[in-house]
Every structure is written in C-alpha cells, then in structure tokens.
C-alpha cells in the first residue's frame, strides 16, 4: 500500500486545481441512483479518466465522473459511477477514491447500492440501512504492507457503520413515511446473480446481498471516516419460489426508489449543516 | 474479457480444420470418467496442445484432447481431460473450451466430476445429478469488462442446471436401477481435501457434495446461454465424525467402477435429446 500515498496526492492535486473547496462529505452513488447527482448545486464535474490513477467505470447504470458542489448547504464530492471488483479492478484501485476523499477533507461517507433481499420480510423497493456487513468477496483492500500514515494495520470493525447516522437515516424514513430496515449486507464479487443454493446459504448470513460497498467501507474505516450506507432492495430472492433476475430490472427498481434515498441523504446533510461540530461518536 | 472473442475464433478455426461438423453437445469428463469417450464414434481428435489458447491438462488421470464425433446420433465434442483452478489456471482459461463449444454450435453441455459425499444418505459409487451449486472458489470466470457478444453482464443463475433434464436423468436412473440423487454441489479450489471442520461448514451451508471443478464451466455456460446437465460421482464419503484419510488411487478406482452408470445416464439423456430433435 506504500505506493498509494503518491497516487492519492496526484489525484488530489488535479481535483483541487478544478475545485478548490474542502468537502466534508463524500457520496458514492450506486446502481440506478445516479439521479441524486442532479440535485447537487454543481461547481465542478471531473471525469474519472482525467484524474490520475482513477479507474474507469464500466458497469451498467454507472457514469464515471466526480461531481463536486453543494447539497443541503454542505460541500460534497460525489462519485457518480462506482467501481466494482467484477469489472476486474483490484480492491485497492476501487478504494482509491475513498482515500482521495479523505485527503480532500471528507469526514463522512454516504454510500448507496442496489442489493438483492435475502430477508423475506423485505419487499422490492425497500431501503435497508446497512448496520453491518459480511465480506465474502475473497479480497481485502488493506492487504499489503500497511501505511501507518493512512490508518492502522488492524482496523477495528466492531462498528464500521456509524450508529448515529443509522438512527438518523431510519428516523428520516419514518418522517417521510417509507419503509427502511436495518440489516446486514453480504458482499460478493458477482457478476452472476446467485444460484438458489447460494441464496439459501447467504440468507443464513445476512439480510441483503450485493456486489459492492464492502471494499469502500473497509478503506473508510481504515481511514477513520464515518460511514452511512443505504441499500435499495431491488428484488427479494425466494429460493423456493422460482424467478429470474436481470440487470435491467435491478436498475429500474433502484431508479424508482431514488427519491427515498435522496430524502435520507439530504436529511443527513441538513443535520450535519445544522450541527457542524457533531462529535465523531 | 475483451480478449476472449478473438481467442475463441482462433481456437474454433483450428478445431474446424480437423473436424468439419458442428457439435450439438459439448461434454466435459471428470476424474476417472474419461472412458465415456469409448462410446463416441470418433471422427477427429485434437490435442489441447495444438489448439491456440487452450490450457494443458496436468491433473492425475486426465488426458488432454478433444474427441469429436457421434454419440446417440448427436454430434458431440468431448473434453477428455479437464482443467482445474488448482493447476494454477485462471478461470477464464479453464472455461475457454466451453465458449469454443458454444461458438461452434453446441446447445447443451454435459459435465461430470468426482466428488466427496457429505450428505450421509449418499454412498460411495452413487451418482448425484447436480441440481444447483454454491461457488466457494473465491473467483469467478466472468470478472473483467463484459463482452456483450458473449453474454450479459449479470447472468441470472436461477436455473443453471436445466431442471427438466435433471428429472429426466433421474427417471433414466430408476429405469436402469442405478442409485442417483439430486443435490447441491459446492465447489472449492482445493487441491487439499477438506478438514473435518471444513466439511461441517460446507454441509451446514447446504451442500450435499464437494468438488474442485465444474462450477466455473457452468457459470460460463449460463453466461453464454448453454443448457447444462451435470453428474457427480461420489468417490469418497466425507463424514466429519467418521473421516478416513482419502486415497487418491481409491478415488480414481471408485470413479472408474462407477463409470458405466454415468455412461448409461449420459447416453440416456442424449438419446432423449436426439429423439426431441434438439441438442
């Protein structure tokens, strides 16, 4: 991980040259949720390909640009277009943007994704506020010689997702009257959807399954960033009741649930703007 | 994955220069199960070594050639010698032959393997028709930028093994008085056999048998729209509370002994395919 420092600094200097502000919140937009970026008072957009060492976004339903600006009075840097291990990127590459955000000044990271529901009490279109995760991606972005400047060798994972932000997100969902659960996200590589046998296995481990988020959260915790992660449950997989899944269905359902996600994100940012000195727990 | 398309064309071109037919069925033969090829009315054999981009088979009891010809009235292309992840090959290399079969015209893939039985109702020498699988190989052959010409970015896996064929194979087994189960295969990399604790884990997550192959090929078959039927031969029993040291020679001997049953089932399934005019 030693070469990361130089890569981060080069990426940061390009971003800062186009957008000199200091963001306090980073946002990673997942599958079908890119519309949130339209609600940012945009001050700069930078293509990933113009940022040194940034991987390109190749996934369905993902653009590939950094949107910098203001949302709910908070300076934010937003990844419109997420990177996945199934695209062939290493977890170190995928999490470079999180490290860059940290260096830019980000203290709080809001991540969204689309997931398959494993918990039968969930319905398609529900939001799951991620309370915890299981890493079944067979990889870890922290593998390698640790750079102690970036974070500890053995980061604690007793609370990777910030408890206060989880409670706040759930209270916003109640206020706006939509269904939001708290639950455990199982990260797998994909890209194929799960077999019925795999769903049965994974449903013993968590509430939703997806192909992202875990690497970014590991890097964020390592870097000392508070994390809120929101998952749109795009289909509930019932292994005993046969049905098929397509990438397009997932994207359509995620897009339809985008307003719910947006209300949580803006609600959290309004709270942050009102209490800029909130303790980091 | 963008390099695959050209590799498939080159491999296909080479095979077609040796065999001018188009396969209806692709067959991959697992450990100790190679003698099924004796049933094939062989029109051509092509060594893997001679096919551009094909990996070599290095595993015990695996040869390394494609056998092309006729079986039960269907044009078949059989891999005599399977390639495994534990040999050090990338899953993209292992599954290239499946893509080549698809490109040459195959509609159905028949896979077989030797497995350890974890379901206590199974016995050594029994056959399990694979109903579903769990991928615990820590890797996936579809990782990389997707080539939409080969298949979708996110393939559905709700029925990787065609359930109608599973039912038909079990019916043939009953008719032939062969003990056959339907069950779930979990695939691991190996090459070590599992510890007792690992067998308990694999059983707990819902698997009936454990093997070191097949899942990559089936994922790629599903990606490319091939129908699949899979057979596992239980070559040793893996009951963690009564575990015996595994003996590879015995495993291969059991596979060889059970091989006629597998042959009967494969031939039976293909005969039905031929009667349907599919394949």
- Residue B116's domain comprises 4-276
Positive or negative: CA dihedral A111, A113, A119, A123: positive
Q: What percent of chain A has pLDDT over 90?
A: 73
Q: Which helix (H) or strand (E) holds B133?
A: strand B127-135
Judge whether residue A11 has pLDDT over 80: yes
Which residues in B lie closer than 8 A to residue A187 (C-beta atoms)?
none
| Tokens 């980000």 found at | A106
**Confidence band of B269 (pLDDT split at 50, 70, 90):** very high
Residue A259 has φ and ψ, to the nearest 5°, of -60, -35
**What pLDDT is attached to residue A250?**
78
Asked, for residue A111, whether it belongs to a domain, the answer is yes
**Nearest-neighbour CA in chain B from A24: distance (Å):** 33
Supply the CATH number for residue A109's domain: 3.40.50.1580
At residue B26, the pLDDT reads 97
Contacts of A198 in chain B (CB under 8 A): 133-135, 157
DSSP code of residue A194: P
Q: Is the pLDDT of residue A279 over 80?
A: no
Q: Can you give the pLDDT at residue A277?
A: 64
Number of domains in chain A: 1
Q: Which residue has the higher pLDDT, B45 or B82?
A: B45
Strand partners, B110: B27, B229
Q: What was the pLDDT predicted at A82?
A: 86
Give the separation between CA B112 and CA B28, rounded to whole angstroms: 6
A189-196 average pLDDT score: 93
In a domain, A86, yes or no: yes
pLDDT range class, residue B52, cuts 50, 70, 90: very high
The predicted structure's pLDDT at residue A92: 93
pLDDT tens digits for B62-98? 678 999 999 999 999 999 888 889 988 999 999 999 9
In Å, how far is A222's CA from the nearest CA of chain B?
A: 24
Contact A195 B206 (CB under 8 A): no
For an interface test with B, the pick among A32, A135, A196 (most B C-beta atoms closer than 10 Å) comes out as A196
Secondary structure element (H or E) that encloses residue B257, with its range: helix B248-276
Which of B35, B198, B237 shows the shortest CA–CA distance to B116?
Answer: B237
- Mean pLDDT, to the nearest integer, of A65-78? 94
pLDDT of residue A167: 96
Lowest mean pLDDT among A177-191, A248-262, B87-101, B214-228: A248-262
Tell me which of A53-67, A169-183, B120-134, B233-247 is least confident: A53-67
- Reduced to 3 states (helix: H, G, I; strand: E, B; else coil), residue A24 is coil
| A241/B68: higher pLDDT | B68
Which pLDDT belongs to residue B226? 98
Q: How far apart are the C-alpha atoms of B151 and A227, rounded to whole Å?
A: 35
A29, A112 contact by CB (below 8 A):
yes
Average pLDDT of chain B?
Answer: 92
Asked whether residue A281 is assigned to any structural domain, the reply reads: no
Nearest to B158 among A138, A189, A242 (CB): A242
| Confidence label for A281 from pLDDT (cuts 50, 70 and 90) | very low
Query: How confident is the model at residue B244, as a pLDDT?
Result: 85
Q: Which residues contact A160 (CB under 8 A, 6 or more apart)?
A: A132, A133, A217, A218, A220, A221, A227
Domain that holds residue A98: 4-274
Q: What is the CATH number of the domain that holds B50?
A: 3.40.50.1580
pLDDT at B60 over 70: no
Query: Using one digit for the tens of pLDDT, what is the confidence trace for A14-56?
Result: 999 999 999 999 999 987 677 888 899 999 999 999 999 998 7
Mean pLDDT of A138-146: 93
Q: Which residues of A90-115 are buried (b: 16+ CB within 10 A; e: fewer)?
A: ebbbbbbbbbbbbbbebbbbbbbbbb
Confidence of residue B125 (pLDDT cuts 50, 70, 90): very high
The answer as to whether A235 is a domain residue is: yes
Chain A environment of B132 (Cβ under 8 Å): 195-197
Q: What angle do CA B230, B235, B237 make, to 5 degrees?
A: 110
Tell me the count of A-B CB pairs closer than 8 A. Answer: 88
**Residue A238: per-residue pLDDT:** 77
Q: Is there a domain that residue A49 lies in? A: yes
Q: Check pLDDT > 50 for residue B40.
A: yes
At A25 the three-state DSSP class reads: strand
The pLDDT tens digits for B145-199 are 999 999 999 999 999 999 999 999 999 999 999 999 999 999 999 898 899 999 9
pLDDT at A59: 62
Domain count along chain B = 1
Does position A176 have pLDDT exceeding 80, yes or no?
yes
Interface contact B140-A191, CB threshold 8 A: yes
Query: CB A201 to CB B206 under 8 A?
Result: yes
Angle at CA B210, nearest 5°, toward B175 and A190?
A: 110
pLDDT digit string (tens) for A88-128?
999 999 999 999 999 999 999 999 999 999 999 999 999 99
What is the structure's pLDDT at A56? 78
* A201-221 pLDDT tens trace: 999 999 999 999 999 999 999
Highest-pLDDT range among A41-50, B54-63, B126-135, B240-249: B126-135
**A58 within domain boundaries:** yes
Picking from A37-46, A233-242, B66-75, B254-263, which range would have the lowest pLDDT averaged per residue?
A233-242
* Range name among A49-58, A66-75, B41-50 with the lowest pLDDT average: A49-58
With a cut of 50, say whether residue A280 has pLDDT above it. Answer: no
Tell me, rounded to whole angstroms, the distance of Cα B10 from its chain centroid. Answer: 23
CA-based torsion, A25, A92, A182, A195: positive or negative: positive
Amino acid B277: pLDDT = 76
Structure tokens at B135: 């991928």
Judge whether A27 lies within some domain: yes
Band the pLDDT of B253: cuts 50, 70, 90: confident
């Amino acid at each position: 991980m030693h070469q990361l420092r130089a890569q981060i600094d080069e990426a940061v200097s390009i971003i800062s040259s186009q957008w000199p502000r200091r963001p306090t919140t980073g946002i990673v937009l997942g599958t079908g949720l890119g519309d949130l970026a339209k609600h940012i008072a945009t001050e700069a957009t930078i293509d990933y390909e113009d940022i040194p060492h940034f991987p390109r976004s190749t996934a369905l339903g993902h653009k590939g640009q950094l949107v910098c600006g203001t949302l709910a009075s908070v300076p934010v840097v937003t990844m419109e277009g997420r990177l996945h291990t199934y695209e062939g990127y290493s977890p170190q590459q995928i999490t470079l943007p999180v490290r860059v955000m940290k260096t830019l000044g980000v203290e709080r990271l809001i991540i969204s994704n689309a997931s398959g529901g494993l918990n039968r009490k969930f319905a398609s279109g529900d939001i799951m506020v991620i309370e915890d995760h299981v890493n079944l991606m067979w990889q870890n972005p922290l593998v390698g010689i640790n750079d102690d400047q970036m974070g500890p060798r053995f980061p604690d994972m007793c609370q990777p997702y910030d408890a206060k932000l989880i409670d706040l997100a759930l209270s916003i969902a109640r206020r706006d009257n939509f269904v939001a659960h708290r639950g455990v996200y199982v990260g797998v590589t994909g890209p194929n959807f799960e077999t019925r046998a795999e769903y049965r296995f994974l449903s013993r481990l968590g509430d939703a399954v997806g192909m992202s988020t875990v690497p970014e959260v590991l890097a964020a915790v390592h870097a000392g960033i508070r994390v809120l992660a929101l998952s749109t449950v795009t289909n509930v997989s019932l292994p005993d009741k046969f049905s098929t899944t397509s990438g397009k269905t997932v994207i359509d359902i995620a897009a339809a649930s985008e307003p719910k996600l947006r209300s949580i994100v803006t609600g959290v940012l309004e709270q942050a703007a009102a209490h800029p000195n909130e303790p980091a727990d | 994955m963008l390099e695959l398309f050209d590799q498939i064309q080159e491999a296909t071109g080479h095979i077609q220069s040796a065999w001018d037919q188009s396969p209806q069925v692709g067959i991959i033969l697992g450990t100790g199960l190679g003698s099924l090829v004796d049933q094939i009315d062989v029109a051509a054999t092509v060594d893997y070594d001679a096919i551009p981009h094909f990996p070599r088979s290095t595993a015990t009891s695996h040869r390394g050639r494609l056998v092309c010809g006729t079986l039960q009235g269907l044009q078949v292309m059989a891999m005599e010698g399977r390639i495994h992840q534990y040999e050090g090959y990338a899953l993209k290399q292992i599954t290239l032959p499946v893509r080549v079969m698809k490109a040459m015209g195959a509609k159905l893939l028949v896979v077989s393997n030797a497995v350890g039985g974890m379901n206590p109702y199974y016995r050594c020498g029994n056959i399990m028709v694979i109903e579903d699988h769990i991928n615990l190989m820590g890797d996936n052959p579809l990782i990389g930028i997707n080539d939409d010409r080969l298949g979708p970015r996110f393939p559905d896996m709700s029925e990787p093994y065609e359930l109608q064929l599973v039912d038909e194979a079990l019916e043939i087994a009953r008719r032939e008085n062969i003990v056959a189960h339907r069950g779930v295969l979990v695939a691991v990399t190996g090459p070590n056999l599992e510890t007792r604790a690992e067998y308990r884990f694999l059983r707990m997550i819902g698997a009936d048998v454990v093997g070191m192959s097949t899942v990559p090929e089936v994922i790629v078959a599903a990606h490319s729209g091939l129908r699949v039927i899979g057979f596992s031969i239980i070559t040793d029993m893996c009951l963690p509370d009564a575990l015996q040291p595994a003996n590879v020679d015995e495993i291969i001997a059991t596979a060889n002994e059970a091989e006629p049953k597998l042959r009967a089932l494969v031939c039976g399934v293909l005969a039905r395919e031929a009667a349907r005019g599919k394949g």
